[in-house]
Structure 1
């Protein structure tokens, strides 16, 4: 019986989560760390104290979600018992299954994002490819897509650096998404995004193909120490372009940091000093990401099984003519609802990517 199998599967998934999430261990950690916060010396080291508080809140959220899933599964089991006695109908069972499934899927998804860096905020860079106006317009469309995704998922978004196109759109843009799991969600967006459409800039209404590159790296927190050799840093300043007040275009507030082949640009603030401080944070984040990739490549067993995600590899097609289709080339996931995707409805695409990646790594 289908309903019986659904109930059985959900109950088993809840049991599996209790073990894989180490709920008992996390409850003990919460108790021990909360006891530490009562010490009069706790705030003597503010950075460590903030990290402890963050861990407590993160563990509490996870345990609370698990208990909610457990409660929903128990309610489903009781409802199923009533159903067998003829005191509940199929619709009631299906409604409870859907409710429990939604909670479980959320927890399982978050469990996949279990790497240290997944919890961090993210920096996302978009760069237009060859094609001039077409690619600049496509980069602008991608920027709008990610901005709408960030807004819908309650992230604080800051535009760190922006280079406009010569006619329309953007040549490049750097965005910061501040909030938990921003990097975990967005890290799979690394690569080349391809657009196929009838160009609004072509008087002959011909079909054009445009490319833009997306690069995502985690924004490190104060709790992560990254060594930077001051002697290797070269600073340059320049006048910012675009809007931002009278001071922006008259004073060299924009900064460019060069470090061992890396280049970081920042025009976020009207203050050159604040832009320098932010550029240093971005540099440390890039260095952290490079080290993170080195660790990843050392996992030879996994590396032989999975497809490498690297700058220059095409990951997704967005087709708007002759038919509508968004297809992820890594997972095979596709949808004809292109408008929703371009309006920031990316969670299904992101989730499928990590579900497939997790299955590969554990196989």
Structure 2
């Protein structure tokens, strides 16, 4: 790479980094960190474990954000020195090292730039993920389970904690539905582009004639409800059923009726939770999911009104991604055209490329 090209590239990287720093508002982040550090140091912090967890989690996240920005700025500044050194020494190895670092910095900058695009009302929230098997019989149930694993592996790769609220197992294989939470700041904004119908094409392992099967699974992403949200639920409009929790194959998980199913009668929304041993805890978790669904319903109604005023329909298509395992290997996003030729890596949680492309696509649709 010519010296003049490198100089222009580094100027461009520095300019992009400056824009990111302005959007992140590092001075405000540092001020927020100072406040949170003071709260975290309070002797009474753990008197309220849930509040303490939120404070320490937010503090950790903001510290990581600032550290990431400062580190990336330092790497951009160091690149100029590294290329100058390579030129002075006329050393191919040092030049190769500098070019590899330049590629790495470009990728890190792209990832950080995507984070600045998450500016929606609920984007900074944790995420509730609902997955359900749709058309395709046992293959759809198996596909839904594979999608659950994909998102849980993605969270694991990033060090995000998760909690499965409820899983309804299918009779032959896979799952009918599942609900779990991803506990990380901006999880909702990041994962919300995954909402829609996912399609799998493969030779069915459940077909004794080895025929190709197309199956579908639906993914719903909701922001976790916080105390500041106004979601009023009239207890008289709820039907609460308790039952015995069960696992794969119907084996008993509990010996008491601790699982809870709540039906919101006016809307017909049904939620359930069975991960806790206490009926009270399961009901509290189920109520959180119901509140999130009602909040999302409220948002969709408001969005529909806005779309009607703008005389335009939703820009979201229902079917959003295809996973093809036969006759060729490919995963393709139908909105962004982003595709990967290794479905197994995607199903193993490597979905960052799809998330970044989806977030950029969504931002373009809003213009």
- Structure 1: gaps (5+ residues): none
1:76 aligns with 2:79: yes
In structure 2, relative to structure 1, the CA distance for the partners of 1:45 and 1:166 (3 Å cut) is closer
> Would the aligned equivalents of 1:324 and 1:337 in 2 still touch at CA under 8 Å?
yes
Match of residue 9 from structure 1: 12
Structure 1 residue 169, shift from structure 2 partner:
1.6
Structure 1 residue 294, shift from structure 2 partner:
4.3
**Separation of aligned partners in 2, 1:357 and 1:295:** 18
Structure 1 residue 24, shift from structure 2 partner:
3.3
Match of residue 218 from structure 1: 223
Structure 1 residue 172, shift from structure 2 partner:
1.6
1:277 aligns with 2:284: yes
Match of residue 21 from structure 2: 18
Match of residue 341 from structure 1: 346
1:192 aligns with 2:197: yes
Q: Deviations over 1:235-271 (max 9, x none)?
A: 12223232698672x5322211122322111122222
> Would the aligned equivalents of 1:155 and 1:177 in 2 still touch at CA under 8 Å?
yes
1:255 aligns with 2:260: yes
Match of residue 235 from structure 1: 240
Q: 2:316 aligns with which of 308, 331, 334?
A: 308
1:329 aligns with 2:339: no
- Structure 2: gaps (5+ residues): none
SS in 1 for 2:165: strand
Q: 1:113 aligns with which of 94, 112, 118?
A: 118
Structure 1 residue 358, shift from structure 2 partner:
2.0
In structure 2, relative to structure 1, the CA distance for the partners of 1:119 and 1:80 (3 Å cut) is same
1:150 aligns with 2:155: yes
**Separation of aligned partners in 1, 2:119 and 2:138:** 40
SS in 2 for 1:340: helix
**Separation of aligned partners in 1, 2:43 and 2:152:** 43
**Separation of aligned partners in 2, 1:175 and 1:45:** 23
Q: 1:286 aligns with which of 288, 293, 297?
A: 293
User: What is the TM-score with the length of structure 2 in the denominator?
Assistant: 0.84
1:27 aligns with 2:51: no
Q: Which moved more, 1:77-86 or 1:124-133?
A: 77-86
SS in 1 for 2:315: coil
Structure 1 residue 41, shift from structure 2 partner:
11
In structure 2, relative to structure 1, the CA distance for the partners of 1:8 and 1:305 (3 Å cut) is farther
Question: What does 1:156-175 correspond to in 2, within 5 Å?
Answer: 156-175=161-180
> Would the aligned equivalents of 1:156 and 1:179 in 2 still touch at CA under 8 Å?
yes
Q: 1:137 aligns with which of 136, 142, 147?
A: 142
Alignment RMSD (CA, Å): 3.3
